[in-house]
Chain A
Amino acid sequence: MNEDRSLYPEHDENGKPIIDLESHKFLKLWQGPQHPGITGNMSLELTVSGDEIVESKTHVGYLHRGFEKLLERRLFVQCMPTSIRLCVAEPDPNEYIVSTAVEELGGIEIPDNAKWLRMLSLEMARLQVLLRGVPGQAGTFALGLGYQWGNYLRDLILDSFEELTGGRVYHMYIIPGGVRGNLPEGFKGRMLEKLKLIDEFVVKIDKLIFQNVVFESRAKGLGHIPKEWVDKYGVYGPAARASGVMRDVRKTNPYLNYDQLDFEPHVTTEGDVYARSVVRYNDLQMTVDMIRQILDKMPDGGDIRAQTPNVLHWKIPKGETYVKCESSRGEYGMYFVTDGSDKPRRAHLKGPSYTHANALLDKLLINANIADTAAIMVSLATCPPEIER
């Protein structure tokens, strides 16, 4: 078909496409709620012309459990088991932001040892996400092999989580006041062995994905986010850095002991799926390096938790705060309001998917191919639970 596709559909004077379904030139297509582009459930209501998308609308609500409202009924310590379920794939940032918000409003200073342990668990969480996410990007183009390899290594990191925290997926490790355990014996050595395997994996992945003509030809130029959109649409983390804007809370607003680590988040300017893959590929290597630095610099044992008031009736004076950290997807924050009682008045989770997968995705999908929706969604690391909470 050599026709100039930009002619379809025609646009009215406001720039809106004129879509007349009766004309049989357009088709409504539902993708989801089981969608290969996401962990979780979400639907895309696409209007296509041929195999090209002319209009997209996201539909969420398949995972709504009312977490924010549930937190309003829970003691501060009871918020933890609920809040970690806000994001299945990477629960640790939830633990961190809720705990930190409680500590900040409750006036608790945590021990230095606990700060390092928190950083370790946060970086391990990022690592396990990226081990699946980086090759997973290729998986959306049916290049599934790297994903299999990545999943094996991710399992090894989950084993480490199991050793450190007692849980594989929901770790319940960071808790108001500190963390729930020092490193088990021999943990460092085993972790460093696993990091060596990941180093090998990083080389193999490069050959498999980035030295791959299929991936390159499909990912380059796809889902382009111009630099100006970063602020306008609220683009965070790796996606923003792929469009030439430095966005990394660890660097801009250092929390815990991140200012003591040596790291430089990768920034590139192309702004397409390929660029985002490269940024996250660099993040993966950077995370491995950061875990090595953390293991090297952290103290050998020590206090794990500051004494809080009795958690069964800990009341926090009226106040509000916004605590954020860098998740693998970008800025991840908790707006927390207390009212003097033993339960939060309001807890609002702000995850990057909210802006990525709503207004921005609708925009990015226009003129994309039906087969490319998954790739674009994965490149934005969409996580529906943090949209509907």
Chain B
Amino acid sequence: MNIKKLLTPFTAWGNVTKDPVTIKDPLNERPGADRYRGFHRNDVEACVGCGSCEDICENEAIDLMPAKDTKDGDSGLRPMIDYGRCCWCALCVDVCTTNSLTLSNEYTWISTDPEDFRYIPGIDKKEWDNNNDKGWKKPEPNYEFYPLKRIQPSHLSPEDRSDSFIEMMHGYSKDQAMQEADRCVECGICTATCPAHMGIPEYIKAIRNDDLEEGLRILYDTNPLPEICGRICTHKCETVCTIGHKGDPLSIRWLKRYIADQNPSERYKKILETENLVSKGKKVAIIGAGPSGLSAAHYLVQMGYEVKIFEKLAAAGGMMRYGIPSYRLPYDQIDKDIDYILSLGVDIQYNINVGNGEGEISLETLGNDYDAVFSGTGLHLGRSTGIPGSDNKHVYASPDLLRWIVEGKEFEVPENVVVIGGGNVAMDITRSMARLQMKKYGKVGVITTALEGEDKMPADREEIDEGREEGCIINPGWAPKSVEIDSNGVPTGLNVVKCHSLFDSEGRFNPQTDEDNKEFWPGTMIIESIGQGMDISYLDGKYKDQLEFGPRGRVQTDEYYQTGLPWLFMGGDIIKGPDVITGIATGHKAAVGIDRMLNPEF
């Protein structure tokens, strides 16, 4: 036997004099490491209850529970964790769209009641809530579970578009649409905010599955004007998109356009299963072929009503055709949507005004001839600032000019134009005039102002940026004082003063200006674009007393847009909005209301 190998192991006795390595009081001496994955924390003010945490949890440990008030962009739900199932993998933290969910480094917690181990972090207060610097947070850098950058569709360069009314945005290619659709987390927070409650996550999923026919069916469930909305919708959905908290919101509008663009109009009836609609024999009249009227017509004809639209102008579309320039919304796309609705059997009469004058059809006649009437006559009257000189004939209202451009009416395009207004319509007229000037003079001479400051302008940011790219001067934060008029009765320009604030401390409209800080902007044409008014004079007469009027002269309706006259429903910009998608939503709901009234058995 090897004596050395018998004795060597006894060197271990050397440890007898050494201190033990055990931690004596682990609960106090041994906190979790800085990244330790312990119990959940949630910043419930930042959380929007999108439920991505619930989706990614493979253990089904997370439930969404009502905990806050529901509002646009916030479901009011908050995640509840069941620690009987949680495995502390923290994928819920990594996927969180707002970075509100984190794990603390606390790993000891004792309770005799098992129900305690199911709680809503941030709502049910825990002692580790305030230990914000320790524990698991979404890793850095460049660690994202979904791409945060938006895929931009290609568009005409400012040089190519500045003298042209050709559509400037190109649609998505298939690859682009797939990539953009991939970014969606399918939370559906956008759905409630969309006035029409479109099935946004569902149609985006259809794009991912490359099933565009299913996509079209989903679009038509809630919106019969997808080509139009796919181009010019105010896309409130995108402002609440949860991906927007960390990155660019999804380009929901261009995705919708992609679906509509890819489906040929010949196949619509087959795809949407509307080849054999059966009539029930009841008749509905619709006043105005704008978004709300067309929407109501579409859903009513689908439900089996005979629908007739009375339209004042020579073509259908309302403000979509006569208010939106074709570089944003080409006419053939308007026609594609409208022709499909008309092809379902909707009758339409053009160039007929509803009113009490000569050659007009009266509301009373419609009320007698039809079982129900829906009116969506819209806002077509330009409002005036009322400043000195604004009554000059060279001071125009934007709706008139925009309509003239569509109708091809000849009018003088001067070298210098001043536009008053900061909304999307003001941007439309600004950029339309710039194009006309570019064609005529080879240069742009438009200056546009608004009371609001740069960051408060109501127009879409991209409209402002693109307008500037095209050479328009957009100079917000000025209040118009007077129109300067020369001896020939032609304006020479606009006097403006700096505007500091719009509202007083109580929130009332009360612009504060600095009279010393003034400028004079030359222009021989002044365009006012500060909002539009409605013309509902057709209500005058025997019905007026039976209707109730609210603020700004709007007729009061119930939630189905039924007025005090049971057979009269009203919707669109004259009731709500103004914008296209709200018009569509009101038309849809009014159609439901009409059906409920005429077929109460449902």
Contacts and interface: CB of A to CB of B under 8 A. Distances in A.
**Do A and B come into direct contact in the complex, CB within 8 Å?**
yes
Contacts of A216: 2, 5
B152 interface: no
Contacts of B186: 312-313
A165 interface: yes
B435 interface: no
B32 A78 contact: no
A213 interface: yes
Contact of A207 (B11, B32, B208): B11
B110 interface: no
Contact of B146 (A143, A164, A178, A310): A310
A303 B35 contact: no
Contact of A208 (B4, B9, B89, B94): B9
Interface in A167-193: 167, 170, 172, 178, 180-182, 184
A10 B541 CA distance: 119
B185 A310 contact: yes
Interface stretch (B51-59, B123-131, B452-460, B550-558): B51-59
A330 to B, nearest CB: 27
Interface in B156-215: 182-186, 205, 208
A253 interface: no
A274 to B, nearest CB: 13
Given A180-B94, A312-B52, A312-B185, A211 B5 contact: yes
Interface string A42-82: 00000000000000000000000000000000110110111
Contacts of A74: 58
B18 to A, nearest CB: 11
Nearest to A203: B11
Interface string B88-109: 1111001100000001000000
B27 interface: no
A371 interface: no
Interface centre among A143, A159, A166, A212 (most CB of B within 10 A): A166
A209 B103 CA distance: 43
A206 to B, nearest CB: 9
B90 A213 contact: no
B205 to A, nearest CB: 8
Interface stretch (B137-145, B254-262, B331-339, B500-508): B137-145
B145 A312 contact: yes
A163 B12 contact: no
A82 B205 CA distance: 27
Contacts of B34: 163, 184
Contacts of A307: 142, 144, 147
A30 interface: no
A131 B4 CA distance: 25
A162 interface: yes
Contacts, number: 121
Given A208-B12, A213-B2, A166 B208 contact: no
Contacts of A118: none
A307 B142 CA distance: 8
Q: Give the size category of A's interface with B.
A: 35 or more
Q: Give the size category of B's interface with A.
A: 35 or more
Contacts of B143: 178, 180, 304-305
Contacts of A182: 140
Interface centre among A74, A143, A167, A216 (most CB of B within 10 A): A167
Given A81-B87, A165-B35, A181-B35, A313 B9 contact: no
Contacts of B185: 310, 312
B37 interface: yes
Interface in B1-51: 1-2, 4-6, 8-9, 11-12, 21, 32-37
A81 B91 contact: yes
Contacts of A167: 36-37, 88
B139 A304 contact: yes
Contact of A312 (B4, B35, B56, B103): B56
Contact of A166 (B56, B59, B90): B90
Contacts of A162: 32-33, 35-36
A175 B568 CA distance: 61
A166 B136 contact: yes
Interface string A128-154: 000000000000000101000000100
B89 to A, nearest CB: 4
Nearest to A211: B8
Contacts of B94: 180
B183 A310 contact: yes
A309 interface: yes
A311 interface: yes
Contacts of B21: 152
A81 B8 CA distance: 46
A303 B183 CA distance: 21
Contacts of B184: 310
A204 interface: yes
Interface in A248-270: none
B283 to A, nearest CB: 46
A167 B38 CA distance: 9
Interface centre among B12, B33, B88, B208 (most CB of A within 10 A): B33
Interface centre among A81, A164, A184, A308 (most CB of B within 10 A): A81
B146 A145 contact: no
Contact of B12 (A78, A145, A304, A311): A145
Interface in B51-73: 52, 55-56, 58-59
Contacts of B91: 77-78, 80-81, 172
7 cross-chain pairs, A with B, having the tightest CB-CB distances, nearest first? A310-B146, A78-B58, A211-B8, A81-B89, A166-B35, A213-B5, A162-B33
Given A81-B58, A212-B8, A305-B144, 19 more contacts: A74-B58, A77-B145, A78-B58, A82-B58, A145-B12, A166-B35, A167-B36, A167-B37, A172-B90, A172-B91, A180-B143, A208-B11, A208-B12, A211-B5, A213-B6, A304-B142, A304-B143, A309-B146, A313-B205
Interface of A: 74-75, 77-78, 80-82, 143, 145, 152, 159, 162-167, 170, 172, 178, 180-182, 184, 204, 207-209, 211-214, 216, 303-305, 307-313
Interface of B: 1-2, 4-6, 8-9, 11-12, 21, 32-37, 52, 55-56, 58-59, 87-91, 94-95, 103, 136, 139-147, 182-186, 205, 208
23 contacts: A77-B91, A162-B32, A163-B33, A165-B35, A166-B33, A167-B37, A170-B88, A170-B89, A172-B89, A180-B139, A208-B11, A208-B12, A213-B2, A214-B9, A216-B5, A305-B139, A310-B147, A311-B95, A311-B145, A312-B52, A312-B56, A312-B95, A312-B146
